[in-house]
């Protein structure tokens, strides 16, 4: 090779690159594929568990070779990316002291595994300029679902095999969460458009947001999302107008709640049924929905009390409930695999130490979205709804809600970090 002239070496290099594409070109192609696969994941989340799972697997295959190792290390060393990894590591260690089969231990770790994708997504969308595509894909997909939901509600004979009235796919909990997140993102956009004087745009955004919320109030209501709504209303008021906004949000929320209660027989029936179930559980230990949630809560607290620091080990939840259901009757005889509380789902397995890491992860993610942009608001909503909803669900361990959190935090967090990287540094004020 050294004996070749400069011209010959250049021709050889040109021929080689034409036959074997450069590593950079391959990496760029994979990076673009990873971005589009993330778009596919977001679009499929409201619709199909199978499609989402396949797309996530393909996304991992595409994204891993493209990530800058120094950038990935930076995210893992940050609170937002590192604390989820720490929680996974503690879950993995928890398998060592679990008194269940290895199959159950690995099954328990499965709930933690998705957390490892958070630093990957932070790294990807800190590098990529296409994060907004992912968010737009989710919004468009949710709006198509909204259209189908209203179609099924207004035309019961429509040829579609629904899981429940107004719920074309998956379940009402996931659907309600998706619609509420989209509605409050549109509210924030409407405020921005109002400040810019684009009143026709404001009217369209508000109308679309209200149609999303109307589906939640009049078509299919998740009781969990009703607890999330007050927090989002107050946060939006604070974000837009400070202390006065909080007071206005509270008053507006009370008025809206009264109007919905008056106008929606469906909402009244849902809440009345919950109250009836609660009294039936207290009186007869009836195994209804509300009674089972309360029974699982009572048992879960007792499980944590018997192993408070490091828990019973990863994968131990089903065994704990099976043992507690022996020789019982009514709601107490039901052996669950889910305590329906995220903090307890972690604490049963890896103790209060694990629950403290979970809380630290939520705090780190709240701190990541302390800015004033629309992307910050979307990220803040995703974390807030997960914290509130986790009082009555183990959403991080559930498939749809868990991946919604992981991709929501990872994509929006990556966009926020990219914006911070590209913002011009503040210049010092010259002294007079």
Residues forming beta bridges with residue 167, ordered by sequence position: 164
**316/357 same-domain check:** yes
**414/276 same-domain check:** yes
Model confidence band, residue 131 (pLDDT cutoffs 50, 70, 90): very high
Q: Which 8-state DSSP code applies to residue 395? A: T
- 316 and 364 in contact (C-beta within 8 Å)? no
Burial of 25 (0-12, 13-18, 19+ CB in 10 A): exposed
How far, in Å, are 39, 87, 306, 374 from residue 56 at the CA level? 10, 21, 38, 26
215/421 Cα distance (integer angstroms): 39
Is 16 part of a structural domain of the chain? no
Provide the token pair at 132.
Answer: 């907004």
pLDDT of residue 1: 46
Provide the token pair at 152.
Answer: 């099924």
Is 165 part of a structural domain of the chain? yes
**208/190 same-domain check:** yes
**138/283 same-domain check:** no
pLDDT tens for 324-359 read: 877 676 666 677 788 889 999 999 999 999 999 999
Q: Provide the sign of the torsion angle of the four alpha carbons 390, 396, 398, 402, taken in this order.
A: positive
**333/414 same-domain check:** yes
Residues forming beta bridges with residue 422, ordered by sequence position: none
Quote the domain boundaries for residue 185: 132-263
pLDDT of residue 287: 67
HSE-CB at 3 with a 13 A cutoff on CA atoms is 0
pLDDT tens for 190-218 read: 998 988 889 999 999 999 999 999 998 88
258/236 Cα distance (integer angstroms): 20
Number of domains in the chain: 2
**Domain end marker among 263, 282, 297:** 263
**Domain end marker among 247, 263, 279:** 263
**239/319 same-domain check:** no
**222/310 same-domain check:** no
**Domain end marker among 203, 236, 263:** 263
- 62 and 33 in contact (C-beta within 8 Å)? yes
Provide the token pair at 30.
Answer: 């994979």
**354/221 same-domain check:** no
**150/80 same-domain check:** no
Is 11 part of a structural domain of the chain? no
**86/184 same-domain check:** no
* pLDDT, mean over the chain: 86
Read off φ and ψ for residue 167, nearest 5 degrees.
Answer: -120, 90
pLDDT of residue 256: 77
User: CB atoms < 10 A from the CB of 248, how many?
Assistant: 14
**89/150 same-domain check:** no
- 366 and 392 in contact (C-beta within 8 Å)? no
pLDDT of residue 331: 67
Between 23 and 134, the higher pLDDT residue = 134
**254/269 same-domain check:** no
């Amino acid at each position: 090779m050294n004996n070749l002239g400069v011209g010959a070496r250049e021709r050889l290099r040109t021929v080689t690159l034409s036959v074997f594409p450069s590593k950079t070109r391959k990496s760029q192609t994979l990076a673009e594929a990873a971005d589009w696969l993330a778009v596919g994941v977001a679009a499929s989340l409201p619709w199909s568990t199978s499609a989402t799972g396949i797309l996530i697997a393909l996304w991992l295959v595409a994204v891993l070779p493209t990530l800058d190792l120094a950038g990935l290390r930076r995210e893992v060393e940050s609170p937002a990316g590192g604390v989820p990894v720490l929680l996974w590591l503690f879950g993995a260690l928890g398998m060592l002291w679990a008194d269940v089969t290895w199959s159950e231990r690995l099954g328990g770790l499965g709930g933690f595994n998705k957390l490892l994708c958070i630093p990957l997504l932070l790294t990807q969308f800190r590098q990529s300029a296409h994060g907004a595509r992912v968010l737009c894909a989710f919004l468009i997909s949710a709006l198509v679902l909204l259209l189908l939901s209203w179609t099924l509600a207004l035309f019961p004979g429509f040829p579609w095999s629904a899981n429940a009235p107004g719920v074309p796919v998956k379940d009402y909990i996931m659907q309600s969460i998706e619609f509420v997140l989209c509605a409050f993102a549109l509210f924030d956009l409407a405020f921005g458009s109002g400040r810019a004087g684009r009143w026709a745009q404001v009217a369209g955004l508000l109308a679309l947001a209200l149609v999303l919320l109307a589906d939640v109030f009049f078509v299919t209501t998740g009781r969990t999302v009703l607890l999330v709504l007050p927090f989002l209303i107050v946060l939006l008021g604070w974000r837009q107008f400070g202390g006065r906004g909080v007071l206005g949000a509270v008053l507006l929320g009370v008025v809206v709640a009264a109007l919905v209660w008056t106008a929606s027989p469906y909402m009244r029936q849902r809440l009345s049924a919950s109250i009836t179930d609660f009294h039936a559980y207290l009186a007869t230990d009836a195994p209804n929905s509300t009674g089972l949630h309360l029974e699982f809560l009572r048992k879960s607290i007792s499980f944590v009390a018997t192993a408070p620091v490091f828990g019973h080990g990863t994968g131990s939840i089903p065994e704990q409930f099976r043992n507690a259901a022996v020789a019982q009757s009514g709601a107490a005889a039901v052996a669950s695999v889910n305590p329906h509380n995220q903090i307890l789902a972690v604490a049963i397995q890896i103790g209060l130490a694990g629950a403290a890491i979970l809380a630290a992860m939520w705090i780190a993610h709240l701190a990541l979205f302390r800015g004033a942009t629309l992307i910050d608001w979307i990220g803040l909503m995703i974390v807030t709804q997960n914290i509130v909803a986790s009082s009555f669900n183990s959403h991080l361990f559930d498939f749809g809600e868990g991946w919604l959190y992981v991709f929501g935090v990872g994509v929006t967090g990556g966009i926020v970090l990219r914006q911070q990287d590209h913002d011009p540094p503040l210049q010092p004020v010259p002294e007079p």
